[in-house]
Amino acid sequence: MVTNAPKAFLYEPSSGTILFAKAPDEPFTPGSLVKVMTAATVFDALKANEIRSDQLCKVSEHAWRTGGAPSGRGATMFAAIKSEIAVEDLLKGLLVHNANDAAIVLAECIDGSEEAFAERMTELAHSIGMTNTKLANPTGYAEKPSRTTVRDQARLAQYILDQHPNFYPLFSLPEFTWNGIFQRNKNPLLGEIRDLDGLGAGSDPSDGYSGLASVERNGRRVIAAIAGLTSDKHRLQSLKEVVEGAWEFFTVKKLYSAGETVAQGWVFGGNAGYVPLVPKDDVNVLLARGGTLDYRLRVVYEGPLKAPVANGTPAGELHVIGKNGIVYRAPLVTGGSVDEGTLFSRAVDGLQELLFGWIS
């Protein structure tokens, strides 16, 4: 699988398989793609009952001048200064209109300022594993540029899908009329890639065009993120290549059935020296068609396990390793129990550990 995108990441969330990665951790400035993170932060505040969907938020002069009609800076929901707008309408303005004023009003309504809200965004990003992301504002304005990576954007998409499935349909809402103003969804990816139902796109004068897409087709969902493209046309073309590659180049392969022995784990001080390590569920991984020789398997566990060992004890992970590192992780548990051994067997184990150590 190849793409002209300088940065690309393709992920299959149900199995946790990384299908493709190209410069996945190289940072870029996302522009208005930041608004996906803005939305996720608002979703979290709603879920935590910090705000209500029918709560009214006041349009400050700052929000009006910086993100509204007077700003002349692109997308707006034309919110009037000092007016009050419900959170649910602001969210629709944010995700359908791509409205900058909606982003600022939401930030001020929740945290009092864009700066405080940006700190909250960054904290959320880091808490969900977006370790290479720092958010500077809720709009994506370049005066204080945010930084992220395509891997982190895929993590964000999965977080929204997992934690906020009730809000996810907002990303594909086709249109929204507010205050008598009708606007169609401004996400340039919607309707251009078959079965795409989110999430967003952005651009930056220095780092180019970026996109974050989620597509569900034939019972399989994939998440794709790209960045560094030279135009909106090239972004769409590259994103199509990456997304379609999930169906063209990959197929599901069962590596192990639930309960099947993957490896033996050493046991210290037990009436047996080993215990099977098994997956709790079937290990189904999307792998390149005909390219299984390009992958390696590795079992990682903290050993030796100390007796007594109960059946079903979490004991490590199975890693599937491709050209770009680990592409899949499956948790392993013990597939049997080991009772504590006799005093003599424990003494022998202790002597072996002292003289030779343990290899895990």
CB neighbours of residue 230 within 10 Å: 11
Largest CA distance in the chain: 84
Per-residue pLDDT tens over the stretch 315-331 = 999 999 987 788 888 99
Integer CA distances (angstroms), 359 to 182, 274, 307, in order: 66, 13, 17
Per-residue pLDDT tens over the stretch 163-203 = 999 999 999 999 999 888 898 999 999 999 999 999 999 99
Which residue in this structure is represented by tokens 């720092």? 134
Residue, of 64 and 325, whose pLDDT is higher: 64
- Is a pLDDT exceeding 50 seen at residue 344? no
The mean of the pLDDT values for the chain is 90
Give the pLDDT of residue 284: 87
- Is a pLDDT exceeding 80 seen at residue 238? yes
Give the pLDDT of residue 250: 84
Pick the closest to residue 246 from 194, 312, 185 (CA basis). Answer: 194
What is the end-to-end Cα distance of the chain in Å, rounded?
35
Q: How confident is the model at residue 25 (pLDDT cuts 50, 70, 90)?
A: very high
- Is a pLDDT exceeding 50 seen at residue 90? yes
Give the pLDDT of residue 325: 82
Domains and CATH numbers, the chain: 7-248 (3.40.710.10), 254-356 (2.60.410.10)
Confirm if 200 and 217 have CB atoms less than 8 A apart. no
Per-residue pLDDT tens over the stretch 259-308 = 999 999 989 888 888 899 999 999 988 888 876 667 889 999 887 898 89
Query: Does a cis peptide bond (omega within 30 degrees of 0) precede residue 70?
Result: no
Residue, of 301 and 45, whose pLDDT is higher: 45
Integer CA distances (angstroms), 323 to 21, 41, 252, 259, in order: 9, 34, 18, 28
Pick the closest to residue 214 from 248, 239, 249 (CA basis). Answer: 239
Give the pLDDT of residue 341: 67
Confirm if 85 and 59 have CB atoms less than 8 A apart. yes
- Is a pLDDT exceeding 90 seen at residue 355? no
* pTM score: 0.81
Give the pLDDT of residue 360: 41
